[in-house]
Amino acid sequence: MSIFWLKLRMWLLMAVLFSIVYGIIVAVSASLGIGNFWFYLIISIGMMFIQYMIGPKMVEWSMRVKYVSEKEEPNLYAMLKDLATRAAVPMPRVGVADIEIPNAFAFGRWKSDGRICVTRGIMRLLNEDELRAVLGHEMTHLKNKDVLTITLLSVIPIVLYRIAFSTLYYGGGRRREGGGNAMLIGIAAMLFYFITNLLVLYASRIREYFADRGSVALGCAPKHLATALYKLVYGSARADKESLKQVEGLKAFFINDPSAALNEIRELRQLDIDGSGIIDADELAALSAKNVNISFGQRLMEVMSTHPNMVKRIKQLSLYK
């Protein structure tokens, strides 16, 4: 999967999503009146804007993030400083989240507001090369500004849901005047709400492939990122249910989905051929030459997930040089 093909997929996806919205705009404007539609659109975008602006504070509070100085975490700071220089982005704020689930995440309102955080758990689990590969992944998220992209795309299902809800439950008078057109528009909007939700999840999975590719482009070896992902799955699988519940609403920010770890373990066992606990260069090369079999259940779970199937993701890493 080349970087060109990834970019093409993202642009095509955005074109499809906004085409759907344009079609709904035309239909709603013709049937319900333009003023009513713009009210819902403005309210939805306003809510997303507020969420976008206060989002970093919510993440910091939920994840118990403490920002650290170079003096407090010299190794972590040095790795991020070097990666920021390589990526040609402003040095992000460096944070440590006081939770045991091993993971890392990047967020911020814009490029100069970037923040990259690691959990206490990941710092104990990964060695320096593996941690650097994870940080390269997160730095690429900031470089690509994909947090903003996903935020903008997320407006679309919300707008469609509000149109559907309003039309189906509060549009009785207009439904009688329009001969049932409003009802049909409401049903169509609800259908497209589910479709666009799936497309936004697909966009989220594409951005994870982008970030993996970006980590390699920043000089991190594919085997180190593959091993890091492998270890993160096992580390998440050992976490207790209460810890997983605490981060459920924020897992889209993470490098992997902790909630999917127990299911992913079964398929990941096929990658660590010698049982060493890492995925070395030979195992990664062997993976690149074979087809991986993903069960129907795992494929279905991937469709509903913010992250790609882990076996497919590591398979993709095996193709990078």
Q: Tell me what pLDDT residue 172 has.
A: 47
Residue 32 binned pLDDT confidence (cut-offs 50, 70, 90): low
Closest alpha carbon to 73 in 153, 151, 135, 159? 135
Residues 83-98: what's their mean pLDDT?
A: 95
**Residue 142 and residue 114: Cα distance in Å, rounded?**
6
pLDDT score of 126: 97
Q: Which of 40-54, 120-134, 175-189, 190-204 has the highest mean pLDDT?
A: 120-134
pLDDT at 51: 66
**Higher pLDDT residue, 33 or 42?**
42
Return the closest-CA partner of residue 106 out of 96, 116, 97. 116
Amino acid, single-letter form, for residue 256: N
> Higher confidence at residue 184 or residue 152?
184
pTM: 0.82
3-state helix, strand, coil in the chain (%, to 5): 70, 5, 20
21 vs 36 pLDDT, higher one: 21
Instruction: Specify whether the backbone of 79 is left (phi greater than 0), alpha (psi in -120 to 50) or beta.
Output: alpha
Residues labelled catalytic: 138
Supply the pLDDT for residue 7. Answer: 64
Contact present, 314 and 285 (Cβ < 8 Å) = no
Contact present, 230 and 244 (Cβ < 8 Å): no
The domain locations on the chain are 222-317
The arithmetic mean of pLDDT across residues 5-17, rounded, is: 66
Mapping DSSP to helix (H, G, I), strand (E, B) and coil, where does residue 182 land?
helix
Looking at residue 254, what DSSP letter applies? B
